Structure 1
């Protein structure tokens, strides 16, 4: 893994299927019957992934750096 990549986690029990993530970043998220999921666990850095995580109304999406496993988004 590279330090230019991020790991996406979607906490499915928190997800309310608002669809914000799919609307913002359709190349990275899709809705299923029980909520959203990331199309890939590890992705190249892309600002739309940050936008999707920060737009989630219940903060079910977390984005971490693969280099140090530090939280990238959402931020306070």
Structure 2
């Protein structure tokens, strides 16, 4: 069984660039205020979601391992 992730978007820093919806259109959507939301906050590990997080110009997308809370992105420094 693969990893499960918790996906969150910090809407206080999201600028609505829509890069996440371009990288993973089935995993993120923008609301009427142009703020990103994950379609499913708890999900199987997915390369498209990781690419969306890495491509966010303000690093508003956080991914952690479900259960342990260990960071997937952004990585701990």
**TM-score normalised to the size of structure 2?**
0.88
- Structure 2: how far apart are the matches of 1:33 and 1:61? 19
Q: Give the superposition deviation at 1:3.
A: 6.3
Give the RMSD, CA atoms, in angstroms: 1.6
Q: Does 1:62 align with 2:62?
A: yes
Which residues of structure 2 form unaligned runs of 5+?
none
**TM-score normalised to the size of structure 1?**
0.89
Contact persistence 1:3–1:67 (CA under 8 A): no
- Structure 2: how far apart are the matches of 1:22 and 1:57? 13
Which residues of structure 1 form unaligned runs of 5+?
none
* Number of aligned positions between the proteins: 75
